[in-house]
Chain A
Amino acid sequence: DQQVKQNSPSLSVQEGRISILNCDYTNSMFDYFLWYKKYPAEGPTFLISISSIKDKNEDGRFTVFLNKSAKHLSLHIVPSQPGDSAVYFCAARSDNQGGKLIFGQGTELSVKP
Chain B
Amino acid sequence: DAEITQSPRHKITETGRQVTLACHQTWNHNNMFWYRQDLGHGLRLIHYSYGVQDTNKGEVSDGYSVSRSNTEDLPLTLESAASSQTSVYFCASSESRNQPQHFGDGTRLSIL
Q: A42-B105, A43-B106, A44-B103 are in contact. Are A104 and B42 (CB under 8 A)?
A: yes
Q: 8 tightest CB-CB pairs across the interface, nearest first?
A: A99-B97, A43-B103, A46-B100, A103-B42, A103-B43, A105-B42, A43-B105, A44-B103
Within 8 A of B (CB), among A24-64: 32, 34, 36, 41-46, 49
Q: A44-B43, A101-B45, A106-B42 are in contact. Are A49 and B100 (CB under 8 A)?
A: yes
Interface contact tally, CB-CB below 8 A: 53
Distance from A77 Cβ to chain B, minimum over Cβ atoms (Å):
18
- Any B CB within 8 A of the CB of A98: yes
- Chain B interface mostly helix, strand, loop or mixed? strand
For B92, list chain A residues within 8 Å (CB): 43
- Any B CB within 8 A of the CB of A17: no
For B31, list chain A residues within 8 Å (CB): 99
Distance from A61 Cβ to chain B, minimum over Cβ atoms (Å):
19
Taken residue by residue from 83 to 112, chain B's Cβ proximity to chain A (1 for < 8 Å, 0 otherwise) reads as: 000000010101011101111111000000
Distance from A104 Cβ to chain B, minimum over Cβ atoms (Å):
5
Q: A89-B43, A103-B42, A106-B42 are in contact. Are A46 and B102 (CB under 8 A)?
A: yes
B98 touches A32 (CB 8 A): yes
